[in-house]
Structure 1
């Protein structure tokens, strides 16, 4: 199975279905962003602290990585940044293009896999913004390495990712309010299914997700040349039973430093 093609098609499907993470920001939001009143999220509910970004954003080269959907990229472009949005889903990128055309923004879109940023040169970007998305790749370490390569020295990575604790519970039971520990970490969507249901799941064109260890998520950034300089947690906004007990999303701010 071609995982990239599968998840690309699955995200195209999510756009057709109107998933939350495919919803374009409004023209009102863009107009506010043009006046300096902007904010973005890389998790579910919380906004990224403004001081995680450089004080002056105008002209900064920002890569919105695996960030299609007409959300982060257009807001940052409206705020004055030189924005490139890359995503595996063509339809997700079309959301950004629609907002840009609608609201008179300039941004670039590039379809591609977050584990392979060969379309971009070494040390080109000042900031990389990576919303929760690396759950769609089997190995997260190449993602951190590629981000490090395309970031300038002392460049900033703002990343959101999932706390692997979310995946240890039976998903169907958890949505019924029952916390049933069933799965190990690392693992994938397909690992949780009976063998006779795997092919049906693949044919259903739903995303295949991977639960990465916190070591791969955090030490993986450090191994790629980053120093973690900011951290917060987020949840589903009270819509899931787990929100009563623990935060299931994490955001980190990291600085690329050579020869650390």
Structure 2
């Protein structure tokens, strides 16, 4: 099946259902961003440190990669950046377009797959912002390679992704408050389901997710020509039992360096 097409439809449904990841920022947040008082997240709770950004992002070309929903992109545009938001969900991109129109922001949207950035020139962007989203593609090294290609030398990649430990537990048991190690990594949502359950899952328009190794997440960036210069961890804000034991989100700051 076409995973990208399926996940595109699934995210369209999330917009219709009002998922938190699809809710655009308010006019108040945009006004504060225009005054220089802004922050974004690429994980769940913790804001990206401001010192991960240049002192001023005014005029910088920033790609918000797989980042639709009217959140990161409009904030950065309000802070003065020339922002392009790429995503697979048209309804998510419409959230960005709505905020841009509402607030008069310099923001463009592109409907596309994070693994294929061929519509962009090499060495064009100054920064790429990539919140937790590469769990929706089977192979993530092509994503890092494409990001490296479109970033200029010394360009900055800020990425959020899930710790693979998040996927080793039985979901039904976790909802009961029990952490039962059951699955291996790498794997996908569909690997653990019967044919009958797979059909039900797909028909329910749920996203298909992939558990990637930390080697592909971190060494994958390094192999693509990046030097990791920042790192922090985050969690679900105490809403899941696993938060009591370990952080399950990771954010990295990486700089493209010609070797």
TM-score category, normalised to shorter length: over 0.9
TM-score of the two chains, using structure 2 as the length reference = 0.99
Secondary structure of 2:236's counterpart equals coil
Give the deviation of 1:199 after TM superposition.
1.4
Whole-angstrom CA distance in 2 between matches of 1:27 and 1:151:
30
Secondary structure of 1:197's counterpart equals helix
- Could you say which residue in structure 2 is the equivalent of 1:19? 19
- Could you say which residue in structure 1 is the equivalent of 2:219? 219
Give the deviation of 1:57 after TM superposition.
0.6
Whole-angstrom CA distance in 2 between matches of 1:12 and 1:196:
24
Give the deviation of 1:229 after TM superposition.
0.2
- Could you say which residue in structure 1 is the equivalent of 2:143? 143
Whole-angstrom CA distance in 2 between matches of 1:171 and 1:67:
26
Whole-angstrom CA distance in 2 between matches of 1:197 and 1:26:
39
- Could you say which residue in structure 2 is the equivalent of 1:245? 245
Give the deviation of 1:194 after TM superposition.
2.2
Secondary structure of 1:16's counterpart equals helix
- Could you say which residue in structure 2 is the equivalent of 1:159? 159
Residue 192 (1) aligns with residue 192 (2): yes
List structure 1 segments (4+ residues) > 3 angstroms apart after TM superposition: none
- Could you say which residue in structure 2 is the equivalent of 1:72? 72
Q: Report the aligned-residue RMSD.
A: 0.6
Secondary structure of 1:128's counterpart equals strand
Whole-angstrom CA distance in 1 between matches of 2:177 and 2:42:
26
- Structure 2 counterparts to residues 93-104 of structure 1, below 5 A: 93-104=93-104
Secondary structure of 2:114's counterpart equals coil
Long gaps (5+) in structure 1 = none
Residue 8 (1) aligns with residue 37 (2): no
- Could you say which residue in structure 1 is the equivalent of 2:54? 54
Give the deviation of 1:177 after TM superposition.
0.7
Give the deviation of 1:196 after TM superposition.
2.4
Give the deviation of 1:127 after TM superposition.
0.2
TM-score of the two chains, using structure 1 as the length reference = 0.99
Long gaps (5+) in structure 2 = none
Between the two proteins, the alignment pairs up a number of residues equal to: 259
